[in-house]
Amino acid sequence: MTDAGAGDQLEPRTVTITRADLVAYAGASGDLNPIHWNERVALEVGLPGVIAHGMFTMSLAARYVGDLAGDPAAVVAFSTRFTRPVVVPDDDAGATVELGAKVTDVADDGTRTVSVTATHEGKGVLGKAVATVRPR
């Protein structure tokens, strides 16, 4: 990413989220809300099914930017809004999230502002996702 200029699209990535990922994240984060692992509860509260934790989806996008930067510590800021849930089916295939990024600005010190997209089934799941990446 250190050679990327303003306007450059960065290499996209597709990630898969499974129910096992959600259970592992729930345990690690302490967010044991059953909408993230129990189909019956998710449907009872009006969701279309079990949904991924928003912060888990955000972490996948932040990891993607860190990988693009070549150093996760280079990502000094990341912000987003959660616009749509990722519904994760109870199967071996899981749900896919397509990640993309574009450098929108390069500061005099080499710090890059990166706009990140995350889509599931063709619809955005993160809005106004922006990372600040310092040079390595």
pLDDT per residue as tens, the chain (136 positions): 778 989 999 999 999 999 999 999 999 999 999 999 999 999 999 999 999 999 999 999 999 999 999 999 999 999 999 999 999 999 989 999 999 999 999 999 999 999 999 999 999 999 999 999 999 8
66 phi and psi angles, rounded to 5 deg: -60, -40
- Tell me the β-bridge partners of 103: 114
With vertex at residue 25, the alpha carbon angle to CA 16 and CA 88, rounded to the nearest 5 degrees, is 40
| Residues near 18 by beta carbon (within 8 Å), at least 6 away in sequence | 88, 92, 94, 95
By residue count, the chain amounts to: 136
